[in-house]
Amino acid sequence: MPRHGRGDLRVTLSRRRLETARSLLFVPGNRPDRFAKAASAGADAVIVDLEDAVAPQDKNLARDHVAAWLGAGNSAVVRVNAPGTPWFDADLAVAARYSAPVMVPKSEDPAVLADLACRTAGGCLLIPLIETAAGVERATEVCATPGAVRVVFGNADFSGQLGIAHDDHIALTYARSRLVSASAAAGLCPPVDGVTIGVKDTDALTVDVVHARRLGFTGKLCIHPAQIATVTTHFAPTESEQRWARAVVAAGDSVTVVDGQMVDKPVLERARRILTAGGGQNSSQNDLQGARNGP
């Protein structure tokens, strides 16, 4: 069961932070020596990973490390092991004890997600990690699950299932676009893109972020602190986008023409979202929706 009082406040703050997060940094759950470093690295959110980063023989000890970190008053998303695995129940219990947001691997069944929300009495925000073909095809239902705050695309596992390269933009366009559309249909903030495996390949990372942003994503998973600055920078509105937005807003609420282009209500709303997003990382990422490609 989740905590009450202070725990409720932590959930509220977590929702706001998760909705605005551009960079979400993984840290292995079996490396407690890295927890504080990850928390101070400048990411918008830290994900302590009990799943892929931890070998089976280390999972129980890793869970203890995460419980100690959260119990000391620190905040983090907990990527639990997938439902149905031997470690899932104990992982979920730790997250629920501290009202920590839960990233759920292999999210594809809305009934399973709804059960998680029920088991935690709504005290844990859910971040469905969609990384299977079934999850992509059921994305609308997954996004609409009560308790889901934002979805994440697991490009590595998904591409492995399909037998395609994890960094093939064309091959993964359908899946990414489906998650963007499903999120909007469910009223969620835009989704978070998956990983770029080249830890210090800034060029590849930049290309991946620009592509994801163009499709409608507003955040990305990071596997190393060196990736945070690039992700944060390239998910922010550009200077040209902000100049355009200021000109549109300055023209007023009536239908008019700016730089030879008609400006009506939808265009004005997009301009306002760009300016809100440009105000800093704490702006609502929902305000970024519609501001993907600029003018």
Q: Which residues of the chain have pLDDT under 50?
A: 1-7, 280-295
The pLDDT value recorded for residue 2 is 43
Residue 9: CB atoms within 10 Å: 12
The pLDDT value recorded for residue 295 is 36
8-state DSSP, 87: T
DSSP for 138-179, written as a single string: THHHHHTSTTB---EE-HHHHHHHHTS-TT-HHHHHHHHHHH
Cα-to-chain-centroid distance, residue 295: 25
8-state DSSP, 188: P
User: d(Cα 84, Cα 220) in Å, to the nearest integer?
Assistant: 27
The pLDDT value recorded for residue 286 is 35
User: d(Cα 85, Cα 80) in Å, to the nearest integer?
Assistant: 10
Task: Name residue, tokens 């994801």.
Answer: 212
Tokens of 274: 């760009």
The pLDDT value recorded for residue 10 is 57
Query: pTM to 2 decimals?
Result: 0.85
Residue type, 52: D
